[in-house]
C-alpha cells in the first residue's frame, strides 16, 4: 500500500496549498462542531438554575453563530478538497495517457485494449473517490472522534470509558473487513477488465461475427462473463452488508450503556443534567464517524486496489527509448545498413543474419513468402522494434544512439495494416504535420491516386471516414495512408505492401505518380506483386528470415529462382485476365 501511494506524492505536493486550506477549513469546522455540545451543556445547566430569558436568548444566539461558522467551513472544506481531487484526476489521466503513448508496441501486443481502458476509466475514478471523499471523510471522522473523546474524558472519564468500549471491536472489524473488501474489489476490477476487453473485441470485429453467424455464441460468452461479474459484486455487497450493521450494533450497545450509566450518575448527583445531555450529544456526533468509517474504509480499499492496477501501467518502461545523450543527424541523407541483423520472438525467429546496404536515394524492393520477415525488416528502420542481434544504421549511426522521435520525423511509413482515425479525410492525411495547408493536402492526395475518389464524396475532403476508416474501401484506406506519408516530405519512405488492396491499373497510376516523389529519397518497397517492384534499383528476396536473392528485375528473372517463378506466374495471371 505504501508503494502504491508513492505515485500520488507528487500530485498531492503540487496542490499542497489548496489541501492545506481545505484541511484547515475541515479542522475549524470540526472545532466548531465540538463546541456545540459544550454550549448546549452550559445552556441546560443555566436553565436548571432558573436563569432568565436573556441568558436563554444569548445561548440561542451563540448556538446559531457557531452553527453558521460550522456550515461556512464545511462548505469550503467540501469545495476545496473535492475540487483538488478532480484536479489530481485530470493530471493523473493526462500523465497516464502520456505514459501509454510512450510505451513500445510490444506492451500492447501482450495487454488487452479493454483492460487498459478499464484502468484508465473505472480504476482512475476509484482513485479520485479515495483522494476526495475518502481522505476528507477519513480526516473529518478521525478528528471529530479525537476531539469529542478528549472533551468527554475531561468531563467524566468513567463515563467516557463506557462510551469507548466498542472501539477495540470496531478496530478489529475494520482490519478484517478492510482486507476482505480489498481482495474482492481487486477481483471485481479484473472482471471489469475482462468484460471491457470482450465488448471492445466484439465491437471491433462485429462484421466478422455477423459473417460467421456468431451473434448468439458471443452473447452467451458475454452473459457468462457478466454473470460472474455480478457474482463478484454480490460477494462484495454481502461482506459490506455485514460490516455496516455490525458497526451500527456496536453503536447501539454503546448508547444503551451510556444512557444506563449516565442516567444513574445524574440521579446520584455525580454529573449535571447538562453534562449528561452533552455526553449524549457527543455520542450522536460519533454515530456518523463510526457509520462513515465503513464507507470510508470501502472507498480507501477500492482506491488502493485501483491505484495498484494503475501503478502497474506506470511501472512499465518502453523497451525502445532515447539514450541519455542521443547523437544528432542535422542533415539526414538516408543511407540505411542492416549489419548481420537477427530478430527473435518467443515462438519464432523472424530474421537471421540479414546484411543489406541501401544507398541514400535508392529504391529497394523486398519480396518473399508470407512470414518471411519482410514487415519485421521494415519495422526496424523507424525503430518500432530493435534487433535482438546485429545493428541497423542510418548514415553510419546505430539507431539505438539516436532519439527515436527525431529519427521518425524523417521517415514516412505506410504499414501493412492501415489505421485511420475517426476524423475527416483531410485530418487523416494531415496527421503528424502541423499546419498543413489545403493545397499541400490535395497535392498529397493526388500523388497517392486518391484525389478522384475524394471529389466524388458528398463532403469532399471534409468527409468523416468513421472509426478505423469504416466508410472507406481497403484501397482508399491504403491510399489515404500513402498520402499521409507523402505529406511529411520524408527523406526515407517505407511502403509495406501499401498497394495490395488496389487493382493493377490503379497501382500503375499510383506508381507513375510516385516516380517523381521517390527520386532523391531512400525508398523501401515491400510487395507481393512483381509489377510493383520491377522498377526498383535493387530487389531483395527474403526466405525464412534470410536474404536468398538480390539484384535487379532482369538479373533475378535470368537467375531462375523464387523471383523468376513469381514473375512468370503473375505474368500468366495477367494474360488470363486480359482474355
**DSSP of 383-424, one letter per residue?**
TSS--SEEEEEETTEEGGGB-HHHHHTTEEEE-SS----SSB
Given a cut of 60, is residue 578 above it in pLDDT?
A: no
- The class level of CATH for 336-578 reads alpha beta
DSSP 303: H
169 closest CA partner among 160, 158, 177, 179: 177
Give Cα separations from 51 to 36, 343, 445 (angstroms).
20, 94, 93
Given a cut of 60, is residue 396 above it in pLDDT?
A: yes
Per-residue pLDDT of 90-140, as tens digits, reads 999 999 998 888 888 778 878 877 788 888 888 888 889 888 888 888 888
Give Cα separations from 124 to 92, 114, 240, 306, 321 (angstroms).
8, 14, 22, 7, 26
Given a cut of 70, is residue 563 above it in pLDDT?
A: yes
Place of cell 501501467: 313
> Can you read off the three cell numbers belonging to residue 302?
477500492
What is the predicted pLDDT for the residue at 392? 92
Q: What confidence tier does 24 reach under pLDDT thresholds 50, 70, 90?
A: very high
**The CATH number of domain 2-314 is 1.20.1560.10:** yes
What is the predicted pLDDT for the residue at 26? 92
For residues 11 and 166, the model is more confident at 11
For residues 184 and 355, the model is more confident at 355
- In percent, the amount of the chain with pLDDT more than 70 equals 92
What mean pLDDT value characterizes the chain? 82
Q: What confidence tier does 393 reach under pLDDT thresholds 50, 70, 90?
A: very high
Per-residue pLDDT of 505-557, as tens digits, reads 777 777 777 777 778 889 898 887 777 788 888 999 888 889 888 888 888 88
What is the predicted pLDDT for the residue at 230? 87
Given a cut of 90, is residue 87 above it in pLDDT?
A: yes
Q: What confidence tier does 469 reach under pLDDT thresholds 50, 70, 90?
A: low
What is the predicted pLDDT for the residue at 152? 79
Range of weakest confidence among 162-171, 303-312, 477-486: 162-171
Q: What confidence tier does 215 reach under pLDDT thresholds 50, 70, 90?
A: confident
Query: Average pLDDT of 480-492?
Result: 87
CA-CA distance, 19 to 79, in Å (whole number)? 11
Q: What confidence tier does 4 reach under pLDDT thresholds 50, 70, 90?
A: low
Phi, psi of 313 (to 5 degrees): -70, -45
Per-residue pLDDT of 144-174, as tens digits, reads 888 888 887 887 777 777 777 766 777 677 6
Do 2-314 and 336-578 share a fold?
A: no
What is the predicted pLDDT for the residue at 573? 66
What is the predicted pLDDT for the residue at 198? 79
Highest mean pLDDT of the ranges 89-93, 418-422, 558-562: 89-93
Per-residue pLDDT of 336-391, as tens digits, reads 999 999 998 877 888 898 999 999 989 898 988 888 888 889 899 998 888 999 99
Domain segments of the chain as ranges = 2-314, 336-578
What is the predicted pLDDT for the residue at 444? 87
For residues 247 and 446, the model is more confident at 446
Query: Average pLDDT of 487-512?
Result: 78
Give buried/exposed letters for 45-84 (b at 16+ CB in 10 A, else e): bbeeeeeeeeeeeebeeeeeebeebbeebbebbbebbbeb
What is the predicted pLDDT for the residue at 105? 79
Q: What confidence tier does 287 reach under pLDDT thresholds 50, 70, 90?
A: low
For residues 359 and 215, the model is more confident at 359
CA-CA distance, 1 to 303, in Å (whole number)? 10
The 3-state secondary structure of 135-152, one letter per residue: HHHHHHHHHHHHHHHHHH
Beta bridge partners, 341, equal 354
What is the predicted pLDDT for the residue at 135? 86
Given a cut of 70, is residue 50 above it in pLDDT?
A: no
CA-CA distance, 299 to 134, in Å (whole number)? 6
For residues 285 and 485, the model is more confident at 485
Q: What confidence tier does 261 reach under pLDDT thresholds 50, 70, 90?
A: confident
Query: Average pLDDT of 58-77?
Result: 90
Cα-Cα end-to-end distance for the chain = 74
Whether pTM > 0.75 for this model: the answer is: no
Amino acid at each position: 500500500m505504501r508503494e502504491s501511494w508513492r505515485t500520488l506524492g507528487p500530485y498531492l505536493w503540487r496542490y499542497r496549498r489548496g489541501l492545506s486550506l481545505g484541511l484547515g477549513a475541515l479542522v475549524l469546522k470540526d472545532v466548531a462542531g465540538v463546541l456545540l455540545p459544550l454550549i448546549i451543556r452550559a445552556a441546560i445547566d443555566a436553565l436548571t438554575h432558573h436563569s432568565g430569558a436573556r441568558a436563554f436568548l444569548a445561548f440561542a444566539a451563540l448556538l446559531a453563530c457557531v452553527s453558521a461558522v460550522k456550515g461556512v467551513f464545511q462548505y469550503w472544506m467540501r469545495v476545496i478538497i473535492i475540487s483538488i481531487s478532480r484536479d489530481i484526476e485530470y493530471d493523473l489521466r493526462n500523465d497516464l495517457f502520456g505514459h501509454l503513448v510512450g510505451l513500445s508496441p510490444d506492451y500492447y501486443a501482450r495487454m488487452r485494449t479493454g483492460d487498459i481502458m478499464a484502468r484508465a476509466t473505472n480504476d482512475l475514478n476509484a482513485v479520485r473517490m479515495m483522494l476526495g471523499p475518502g481522505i476528507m471523510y477519513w480526516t473529518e471522522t478521525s478528528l471529530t472522534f479525537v476531539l469529542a473523546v478528549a472533551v468527554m474524558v475531561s468531563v467524566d472519564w468513567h463515563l467516557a470509558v463506557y462510551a469507548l468500549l466498542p472501539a477495540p471491536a470496531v478496530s478489529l472489524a475494520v482490519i478484517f473487513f478492510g482486507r476482505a473488501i480489498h481482495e474482492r474489489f481487486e477481483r471485481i476490477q479484473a472482471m471489469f477488465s475482462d468484460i471491457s476487453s470482450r465488448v471492445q473485441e466484439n465491437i471491433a470485429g462485429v462484421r466478422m461475427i455477423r459473417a460467421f453467424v456468431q451473434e448468439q455464441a458471443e452473447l452467451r460468452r458475454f452473459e457468462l462473463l457478466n454473470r460472474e461479474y455480478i457474482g463478484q459484486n454480490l460477494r462484495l455487497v454481502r461482506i459490506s452488508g455485514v460490516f455496516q450493521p455490525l458497526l451500527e450494533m456496536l453503536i447501539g450497545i454503546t448508547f444503551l450503556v451510556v444512557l444506563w450509566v449516565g442516567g444513574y450518575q445524574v440521579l446520584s448527583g455525580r454529573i449535571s443534567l447538562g453534562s449528561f445531555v452533552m455526553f449524549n450529544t457527543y455520542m450522536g456526533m460519533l454515530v456518523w464517524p463510526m457509520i462513515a468509517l465503513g464507507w470510508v474504509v470501502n472507498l480507501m480499499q477500492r482506491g488502493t486496489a485501483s491505484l495498484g492496477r494503475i501503478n502497474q501501467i506506470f511501472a512499465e518502461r518502453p523497451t525502445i527509448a532515447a539514450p541519455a545523450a542521443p547523437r544528432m543527424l542535422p542533415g539526414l541523407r538516408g543511407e540505411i545498413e542492416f549489419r548481420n541483423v537477427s530478430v527473435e520472438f518467443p515462438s519464432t525467429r523472424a530474421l537471421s543474419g540479414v546484411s543489406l546496404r541501401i544507398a541514400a536515394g535508392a529504391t529497394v524492393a523486398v519480396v518473399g513468402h508470407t512470414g518471411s520477415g519482410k514487415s519485421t525488416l521494415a519495422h526496424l528502420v523507424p525503430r518500432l522494434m530493435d534487433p535482438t542481434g546485429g545493428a541497423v544504421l542510418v548514415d553510419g549511426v546505430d539507431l539505438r544512439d539516436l532519439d527515436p522521435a527525431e529519427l521518425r520525423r524523417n521517415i514516412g511509413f505506410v504499414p501493412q495494416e492501415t489505421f485511420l482515425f475517426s476524423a475527416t479525410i483531410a485530418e487523416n492525411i494531415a496527421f503528424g504535420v502541423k499546419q498543413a495547408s489545403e493545397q499541400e493536402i490535395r497535392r498529397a492526395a493526388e500523388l497517392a491516386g486518391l484525389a478522384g475518389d475524394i471529389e466524388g464524396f458528398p463532403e469532399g475532403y471534409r468527409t468523416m471516414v468513421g472509426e478505423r476508416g469504416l466508410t472507406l474501401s481497403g484501397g482508399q484506406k491504403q491510399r489515404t495512408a500513402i498520402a499521409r506519408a507523402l505529406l511529411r516530405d520524408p527523406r526515407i519512405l517505407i511502403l509495406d505492401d501499401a498497394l495490395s488492396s488496389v487493382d493493377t491499373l490503379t497501382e500503375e497510376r499510383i506508381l507513375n505518380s510516385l516516380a517523381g516523389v521517390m527520386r532523391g529519397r531512400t525508398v523501401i518497397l515491400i510487395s507481393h506483386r512483381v509489377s510493383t517492384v520491377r522498377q526498383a534499383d535493387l530487389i531483395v528476396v527474403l526466405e525464412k528470415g534470410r536474404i536468398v536473392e538480390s539484384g535487379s528485375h532482369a538479373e533475378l528473372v535470368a537467375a531462375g529462382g523464387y523471383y523468376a517463378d513469381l514473375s512468370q506466374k503473375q505474368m500468366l495471371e495477367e494474360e488470363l485476365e486480359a482474355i
